[in-house]
Amino acid sequence: MSYMKRSYLIDTNVLIYSVDMMSSLFPLARYVIKRGEERSFFPYLSVQNISETYAIITSSRLSNPLSSKEAGELLLTLFTGRIFEILSINDKIVSSALNIAKERNIISQRFFDAVLAATIIEYQLTGIITNNPSDFLNLSFDVIPLEDIFKFF
């Protein structure tokens, strides 16, 4: 599957900051969402992003957690409102993620970053927008740090 140039997966941390008004990164994350809505780039999420985001925004890890109803409505809006295209995870992506993890000696929760990397590669996206660029260094796609977003869009 080949996607358009300037197609970016939005990392889970960016989604979380976009709903956490207490975060100093809230304005940057909201800017990313807005620019995606305006089609300055083509924004994508994986099923994994949605799952991770829901788990965090409804937990005490967020300064003001959302209720299950609020979180569900918010996340449904992201893909029913056609802001983002949602990418599925298949066996080829899992296999690729396992190879990335093996090659990079990735263990524990960091494996989820390998799954996102494999998703980007499989769907031939341009890259990822993230607040943790070091998680995706030296892979075959662009990494845009959230703090540098104004340089790109």
- pLDDT attached to residue 1: 43
Between CA 110 and CA 107 the distance in angstroms is: 6
Per the domain annotation, does 91 fall within a domain? yes
Q: What's CA 37's distance to the chain center, in Å?
A: 15
Count the neighbouring beta carbons within 10 Å of the beta carbon of residue 78. Answer: 21
pLDDT in tens, 40-79: 999 999 999 999 999 999 999 988 899 999 999 989 887 7
Per the domain annotation, does 80 fall within a domain? yes
Question: Into how many domains does the chain fold?
Answer: 1
Between CA 46 and CA 132 the distance in angstroms is: 17
- pLDDT attached to residue 18: 93
Per the domain annotation, does 89 fall within a domain? yes
- pLDDT attached to residue 64: 87
- pLDDT attached to residue 63: 83
Between CA 83 and CA 39 the distance in angstroms is: 9
- pLDDT attached to residue 4: 53
- pLDDT attached to residue 5: 66
- pLDDT attached to residue 115: 98
- pLDDT attached to residue 89: 97
Q: Report, as ranges of residue numbers, the positions in the chain whose pLDDT lies below 50.
A: 1-3
Q: Show the domain range for 18.
A: 7-148
Q: Output the six-digit token pair for 138.
A: 């030296």
Separation in Å, CA 119 to CA 9, 32, 56, 81: 9, 20, 21, 22
Per the domain annotation, does 2 fall within a domain? no
Per the domain annotation, does 133 fall within a domain? yes
Per the domain annotation, does 1 fall within a domain? no
CATH number (domain holding residue 31): 3.40.50.1010
Between CA 9 and CA 42 the distance in angstroms is: 9
Helices (H), 20-139: 26-37, 47-57, 68-80, 91-104, 111-122
